[in-house]
Amino acid sequence: MGPSPELPRVSTLSVNGMDYYLRLYRLDRLIAAARALWVSQFALQAGIDIPRTVQTCFTNIRGQRVFAILEESVDGTTCWEKISPLSVASLADSARRWHGMSPTCVKPYKGLFVHDHGTFQRRVKRVEQSGQPWSESERRLIDLAQQMLDRPEMHGFTALSHGDVNPHNLIMRKTESVAWIDFERITLRPIWHDLSAIISNVLRRHGNALVDLFENRYFSGLPELHEHWRAIHAHWFLIYHVIQGVKWRSKPREGDKGGSMREEWARNAFVLAASFQGSEQNQRSSTDLMAHAENALRNNLKPAHKA
């Protein structure tokens, strides 16, 4: 018997002029589906803009039994294309709500949520076992990130983390509020993981003023938490990008049409991580750190000069 045919994870469809998302889960991924459905209830109650579930069912697709979730689509543009100051304020407010709803959401069904401590180490080992050598600089950054993750002050504030914060999973509506999609990877992590992802993945490309706006809005009324973030933010930017680099490098390569693109993403992640090295970096603002990181990435992408 050959391998099961690959299923699309998310499809879009139109019914009677209405657009929907159709999410498909193999039976071995039912926990991810249950987690997404459970969290969506609390997200809506907390005032977070997410797609509403229309219907769920088990069905057969391409000879496989799957669980399907039909959701309303979200109209708007991804935050990759642009993001306004009003949208940044909306993003900060909703990120704070994500983190604030965690105790109520997690307590009844702790089995759905796990602390995401071991994934990073498992991916590092997976790459090593596949015969892909780390460069000397990559190995040094991986060891440095691990040392930082072992420090108690790098954790402390654990909450529900979206798990895949990137510009394509944040939709700016016509009203300039921000909707969140694709949160099936949500799990328990330090809140610093999400803040690093939002600032690095979403805001870095759109100007330093938006980074300041986001931080001031998110930490409004929480001066001690803000000071804690300022004391460790460069470390967490490094940790986050090393985690991303390892993730992309650990993806299967054989028969993967996106392999070369993922390798480029992995290299860029390690370049960004390297830009945050040095204990003095934590004394700089997030805006300065992002400008420095963007410059490092730009220099790395320049073609080598030929004599």
pLDDT at 9: 65
CA dist., res. 41 & res. 52, Å (int)? 9
Virtual CA dihedral for 160, 163, 167, 168, nearest 10 degrees? -120
- The residues, ordered by sequence, that sit 6+ positions from 216 with a Cβ below 8 Å of its Cβ are none
Neighbour count for residue 210 (Cβ, 10 Å) = 23
The 3-state DSSP class for residue 179 equals strand
* Residue located via tokens 């790459």: 127
pLDDT at 287: 92
- Does 62 share its domain with 81? no
pLDDT at 6: 54
- Does 139 share its domain with 190? yes
- The residues, ordered by sequence, that sit 6+ positions from 28 with a Cβ below 8 Å of its Cβ are none
CA dist., res. 301 & res. 268, Å (int)? 9
Neighbour count for residue 80 (Cβ, 10 Å) = 16
Query: pLDDT per position in the chain (307 positions), as tens?
Result: 344 445 556 677 877 778 898 899 989 888 888 888 888 888 898 899 999 999 999 999 888 899 999 999 888 999 887 899 999 999 999 999 988 887 666 665 555 555 556 788 888 988 988 888 899 999 999 999 999 988 888 887 888 888 889 999 999 999 999 999 988 788 888 899 999 999 999 998 887 789 999 999 999 999 999 999 999 999 999 999 999 999 999 886 555 555 678 889 999 999 999 999 987 888 899 999 999 998 999 888 755 444 3
- Does 82 share its domain with 66? no
Question: Is 98:162 a contact under the CB 8 Å cutoff?
Answer: yes
- Does 272 share its domain with 175? yes
Q: What's this model's pTM, rounded to 2 decimal places?
A: 0.87
**Residue 5 lies inside a defined structural domain of this protein:** no
- Does 135 share its domain with 215? yes
**Residue 1 lies inside a defined structural domain of this protein:** no
| Number of domains making up the chain | 2
- Does 116 share its domain with 212? yes
**Residue 306 lies inside a defined structural domain of this protein:** no
Residue type, 66: V
CATH number of the domain enclosing 84: 3.90.1200.10
Range of the domain at 63: 10-72
